[in-house]
A and B are shown apart, each in its own frame.
Chain A
Amino acid sequence: MLDAIARNRVATLVCVTVLVLLAVGLAAPGFLTGNTAAIIWSNGLVLMLVALGILPVILTRNIDVSGGSILGLSAVVLGLTVNAGTPLWGAVALALAAGTAAGALNGALVAGLGVPAIVATLGTLGLYRGIMLIATGGEWIEGLPDGLKALGAKGAIGIAPLGWVVGALALALALALRTRRGLWPNAVGDNREAARHLGLPVRRIVFGSFTFAGFMAALAGVTFAAQIGFVPNQAGTGIELRAIAALVLGGVSLLGGVGTAGGVVVAVIFFTAIDTALVFLKIPAYWNDLIGGAMLLLVLLIDGRLRIALERRDRAARYRRATQLPDRTPLEDAA
């Protein structure tokens, strides 16, 4: 029974999400519509991208807290270049390249120079935000072209073009993590020494994970700019912490080696659904953080206790077998 719950964290989370949505639907008729679903998906895109990007990093038992700054930096690169007359596709490409390079620098610091991930990315968190502020002089970037805004506006069956892109990326990541090489980040986080022993390119895997996180944060920056139509100087601030919270809620272990893209998608939807539902229930927006935080703590507390109980049981079982001798008294003992 314990096993079933602890090992099916994602299924449990799906049930809770559905229950919450149904409850809100009862309290506020008109909530349970396809339109609401499209809104929830759209509201969650930026968080989804950052969280899915950090997923491989955390699977390798590292962490990346610079996602929000990379998001802001990429959005500024996009805004500045497109307003300077660069064609939209070129500006998007530059923004993605900037974010990927920022992620690669994180990866080089951690995998190449051996800086602890939390230290390296706390440093670049400030560094990238600083570059962004210097580039804009602290000003907001406004007047973004309509072509960009169209990427974030409603498209086929109520989903924006970027919404489709993110859905496709989530699916691709989920599949990629199941391939032969896709298991490598899991392996590195699960037992680094074993991965080294088996000849896996441990440092390249870690480097690749951080680079991927940078790319995804950059795409989040593009999405952010397209959805709101301007780039404030605090764009993305604090989103890395929400992303990490969503990862943990989605069953990703901060100790590495455990987690699925599906779990992350469900967790992001859960968070966004709560925010959206609060709007429907006409609860003031300043309650969002409190309720979201309380939900997160509750789920994690229960999950943590379950894991401890499971571990204790596994350990006891191992040693019980180790000391159970067959019932016999070897003759040589007497000697």
Chain B
Amino acid sequence: MGEMLAELRGVTKAYGPVQVLRDVDFEIRAGEIHALLGGNGAGKSTLMKILAGLVPASAGEIRINGTSLSHPTPAQVQALGLYLVPQEAHIFPHQSVLQNVCIGLPRAAHHYRDRIERHIAELGVSISPDAKAATLEIADRQLVEILRGMIRNARVLVLDEPTSALTPHEVEALFTRMRALRDAGAGLVFISHKLHELRAICDRITVLRDGNTVLAAPLADCPDTRIIAAMSPGASALRDRAAPREIGAQALTLEGVSGEGFEDISLGLRAGEILALTGVVGAGRTELAETLVGLRPLAGGRLEVNGRALPRPSPRRAVDAGLVYLSEDRQQYGLFLEAPLFWNTSSFVTHKLPALLRPGREKARFARYRDSMKIRCQSPEQSAAALSGGNQQKVLLSKCLAAAPRVLILDEPTRGVDVGARGDIYAIIEELAAQGVAVLLISSDFDEVVRLADRIAVMAGGRIAGELPGGSPIGEIARLAFESREPAHA
């Protein structure tokens, strides 16, 4: 093995009560490409952000090129030759590609123009250094980040899902480039959900699950089955399935629905049924859900809720039709963080409250949900920001239920939720379905999908890749989600 370029020892990270990383070791050696794998919320992005100095660790040691850093800053880390290509490209929309790549470098941008043009040619892509970054497509934004790493002569390059927005041709060119960097003595970290990509270029693999290292071995020693088993040891999850429920009338119908990031989606959902919509990040699931409730423009197709067509969805019309969506992003789109808990519960139905508000009634409403959902809080007046992830999620569920939904779309309802609360939320979802609510469960957690869903629709690249019956083996789902299609941005 080559010399040690960067290492993390005993890294622990907690956000409030939520433990994101527990005592994780990770190393990058010269001349290797190290695969880092894990489900949503497994902690891989956080681990790499700690390495890049973007997020401080709660405990642990970081060494880069032999220098030990207690509280690294991005500038220090980059000066030591490490660059993180983030999952979402960080671009300055109003500056040119050239300026975007060179900002923060010791010399003015025009000194680097020749090298950048050469790197662009090496990657086999065609973007102009003078183009405004705002005009770039998603794939080209990613290339700006890769160019940043190359121009900084990084000896350690961390690539967080760099291929999710690239065309096959661009992926191949990127891999060629990565191999060349490795052979020149650099160490690379490659984060991806796509096993065949890992197989193509990686030497070693580390798998994280719930903030723990669950697999660390040479990639050649790990068959796919072992990797999938490490990511989601869900084989035993089936025994927890609830009793079969009564399936009612058609509640939600999509016919050839198209919009931003997805195309030609047809799905049906009946009352009392839980339909899981699964796939990898970027498959277009959230975009679809946001379109159904009118948060994004509907480009085409037909949408029917409880037998009534919804030709021009808007958030209000959706709620009135009984279609309620719970966002995956609790902090940004879900909670009113500073408002008292009981107003959060009432927030979906404000248009139905009396003109002169009666806080007592809203508190009583909250108290009912608090008792039935086991929301742990001090008082109804408490602000939502202080609750743990699991309790926040329950408050959000209470908000959705207050709107008396017929169709409930839950987007990653257990992301960042601890194990105990996760069980409570599963019970609530099953109870709702038993009461005749049609549940569309968007989840990237295959265990969860197998555990809860009556039917499973897998989305990939903005389309439905296939539909499976509930309780299908995880390998089957993973194969459809990971392998069935190249990403849509081709």
Residue positions of A touching B, CB distance < 8 A: 179-180, 183-184, 186-187, 190-191, 193-201, 257-258, 314-315, 318-319, 321-326, 330, 332-333, 335
Contacts and interface: CB of A to CB of B under 8 A. Distances in A.
Contacts, number: 104
A178 to B, nearest CB: 9
A194 B93 CA distance: 11
Contact of B74 (A179, A199, A326, A335): A199
A113 B488 CA distance: 45
Nearest to B260: A319
A191 B89 CA distance: 11
Nearest to A332: B484
B368 interface: no
Contacts of B463: 325
Per CB-CB distance, the 8 closest pairs between chain A and chain B, nearest first, are A199-B75, A194-B90, A190-B92, A198-B104, A319-B260, A199-B74, A180-B108, A323-B263
A194 B91 contact: yes
B276 to A, nearest CB: 19
Given A191-B92, A194-B90, A198-B90, A183 B103 contact: yes
B376 interface: no
Interface string B80-119: 0000101000111111000100011101110000000000
Contacts of B259: 319
B301 interface: no
Contacts of B93: 190-191, 257
Interface of B: 52, 54, 73-79, 84, 86, 90-95, 99, 103-105, 107-109, 134-135, 137-138, 148, 258-263, 284, 461-463, 465-466, 479, 483-486, 488-490
Contacts of B79: 199
B90 A326 contact: no
Contact of B90 (A191, A314, A335): A191
B490 A325 contact: yes
Contact of B95 (A190, A322, A326, A335): A190
Contacts of B479: 335
Given A197-B74, A321-B489, 9 more contacts: A187-B92, A194-B90, A194-B91, A197-B54, A198-B78, A198-B104, A201-B75, A322-B261, A335-B479
B461 A321 contact: no
Given A196-B54, A198-B104, A318 B90 contact: no
Contacts of B284: 323
B462 A322 contact: yes
A322 B135 contact: no
Q: Of A191, A193, A326, which is in contact with the most chain B CB atoms at under 10 Å from its CB?
A: A191
B261 A319 contact: yes
B137 A194 contact: no
B95 A187 contact: yes
15 contacts: A183-B103, A186-B94, A190-B95, A194-B90, A197-B90, A199-B75, A318-B137, A321-B137, A323-B263, A325-B263, A325-B461, A325-B463, A325-B488, A330-B485, A330-B486
B79 to A, nearest CB: 8
A323 B91 contact: no
Nearest to A7: B132
Nearest to A310: B134
A258 B94 CA distance: 7
Contacts of B466: 333
A201 B78 CA distance: 13
A137 to B, nearest CB: 44
B490 A183 contact: no
